[in-house]
Amino acid sequence: MKKQETDLMEKVVSLCKRRGFVFQGSEIYGGLANTWDLGPLGVELKNNIQQAWWNFFVKSRKDMVGIDAAILMNPKVWEASGHVANFNDAQVDCKACKKRFRADHLVEDALENVKVEGISPADLSKLIKENNIKCPECGEKQFTEVRQFNLLFQTHIGATNNENAPVVYLKRANLGMGGGTKIVQESSNPPVYLRGEIAQGMFVNFKNVQTTTRKKIPFGIAAAGKAFRNEITPGNFIFRTLEFDLMEFEYFIKEEMWKEKFEYWLNEMHKWLEVVGLKKENTRVREHEQKELSHYSKRTVDIEYKTPFGWKELYGLAYRTNFDLTNHAKASGEDLSYFDQETNEKYIPHVLEPTFGLSRTILMVLLDSYYEEEVKEGSEGNETRIVLKLKPAIAPFKAAILPLMKKDELVAKADEIFNALNNKFALDYDLSGSIGKRYRRQDEIGTPYAITIDFDTLKDNSVTVRDRDTLKQDRIKIEELEAYLSDKICK
């Protein structure tokens, strides 16, 4: 990373801790690697982004419905989806310092403009040796052979303190059709998995959703929620963590529709970038090569973001064919086909999957909206202000109520205004410090408008509304505040 980019990352991380966007998970116990807690402002930002996404892709459309599926599912779901066999990352250990790395990240960080996703462990080992790649921790070049490890977190249901491992027993299975019998091994308490993606909940509920909503193809099922991956993470703040939030939908189509609909959804994803305010010059589309494609995908593209640590995946769009529904139909014995009453056709629908990393969106929005500006405001001289130029729709607070001084009559009027507007807008209320310092605090947390109640307010029933980005101040009648804010925030 260049120094300027490193500085930006450090400044955003510091701001997040200082102002209550993100805290280290379990911090009073020394933390737990790659786990983070959203603070009061972080959870508001997350909820606002998620709600904006839901409004844009679900509520505003006739062809989309939503569900909220369980995190724990029957383990056969993950066997049928291919995750038990194929949901793997390549890892490598430094023999000198014992540090463990994701092999693809180790190679890509060391070799500029090289993408190795999808290549075999043997080829990764070869690349590491041929290029004399050094350990980022200790500088040595002594690595183990690259090997695969599964990313699914395992747990057990109903285990007690005395059940450290599931009981394994033998069972005689009838092979049927004159095939005799064989002895098979089963467990009394087989593992279940924390979901590694949220897509499978939509696939296994396809029949339930289609039957109850009577949606006709093409239509989509959307969801947002937690996913878990037991992976080695590089420590880039909340970019890649063990537990993270996703927003995505499965859009069910006839096979011949996929190319047209693929381009359509890619275009809609670009429109979404504008909704959250990400700069166009900081994003790009990257097509996956054949060797990179997941086991279920025929075509995948990533929308990447130019982070301080390089171009990284933010969103993805995959054509999953009919892989998932076909496999779940075979494994479960349920008929997951769709009958088209207009054409009298019966078929297993194909699927397009736009995926949006919510946790990553939070980070990219913070990086994109962070500014340091030289300003002169009021009687104070030139100073550097830190400001988050968040889109008003996703800002944690839409406005702040600021009595000019701690005078009873000003505080009473401020309380009156807060109570009148608080059920319409998310508001902050700040009495502490000079008005200039309070402006700076609101700038740092991205509050678009600051409403100051002064002694003139008591005479003319007007307040001063300060714009975060332009610093322009308007004098507005109190009875006009709601309409004024609504107009500004909805633009």
Domain ranges of the chain: 3-84+196-365, 397-490
Would you call 202 helix, strand, or coil by DSSP?
helix
Q: Do the beta carbons of residue 141 and residue 133 sit within 8 Å?
A: yes
Please determine, for residue 1, whether its predicted confidence score (pLDDT) is greater than 50.
no
Fold equal for 3-84+196-365 and 397-490: no
What is the side-by-side strand order in the sheet with 427-429? 427-429, 399-403, 449-453, 462-467, 473-477
Peptide bond into 218 cis (omega under 30): yes
Rounded Cα–Cα distance for residues 23 and 40 (Å): 10
Confidence of residue 2 (pLDDT cuts 50, 70, 90): low
Instruction: Single out the residue of 351, 60, 322 nearest to residue 220, CA to CA.
Output: 351
Q: What is the mean pLDDT of residues 216-229?
A: 97
Give tens-digit pLDDT for 9-41: 999 999 999 999 999 999 999 999 889 999 999
Rounded Cα–Cα distance for residues 197 and 77 (Å): 12
pTM score, whole prediction: 0.87
Please determine, for residue 92, whether its predicted confidence score (pLDDT) is greater than 60.
yes
Give tens-digit pLDDT for 423-439: 999 999 999 999 999 99
| Per-residue pLDDT, 113 | 78
Confidence of residue 148 (pLDDT cuts 50, 70, 90): confident
CA distances from residue 472 to 341, 355, 369, 414 in whole angstroms, order as listed? 60, 39, 19, 21
| Per-residue pLDDT, 286 | 96
Would you call 91 helix, strand, or coil by DSSP?
strand
Q: What is the mean pLDDT of residues 450-456?
A: 97
Q: Measure the N-to-C terminal CA separation of the chain; round to a whole number of Å.
A: 36
Q: Do the beta carbons of residue 336 and residue 348 sit within 8 Å?
A: yes
**450 has which bridge partners?**
400, 466
Please determine, for residue 194, whether its predicted confidence score (pLDDT) is greater than 50.
yes
Q: Could you tell me the fold of the domain covering 3-84+196-365?
A: BirA Bifunctional Protein; domain 2 (3.30.930)
**339 has which bridge partners?**
346
Q: Do the beta carbons of residue 21 and residue 3 sit within 8 Å?
A: no
Q: Given its phi and psi angles, is residue 370 left (phi above 0), alpha (psi -120 to 50 degrees) or beta?
A: beta
Confidence of residue 176 (pLDDT cuts 50, 70, 90): very low
CB atoms within 10 A of CB 338: 20
Q: Which CATH number fits domain 397-490: 3.40.50.800, 2.70.70.10, 3.30.390.10, 3.40.50.300?
A: 3.40.50.800
| Per-residue pLDDT, 191 | 87
Confidence of residue 179 (pLDDT cuts 50, 70, 90): very low
Q: What is the token pair recorded at 448?
A: 């678009």
| Per-residue pLDDT, 168 | 45
* Averaged confidence pLDDT in the chain: 90
Instruction: Single out the residue of 90, 37, 34, 10 nearest to residue 240, CA to CA.
Output: 34
Confidence of residue 337 (pLDDT cuts 50, 70, 90): very high
Give tens-digit pLDDT for 339-363: 999 999 999 999 999 999 999 999 9
Give tens-digit pLDDT for 364-379: 999 999 999 998 776 6
Give tens-digit pLDDT for 51-90: 999 999 999 999 999 999 999 999 999 999 988 888 888 8
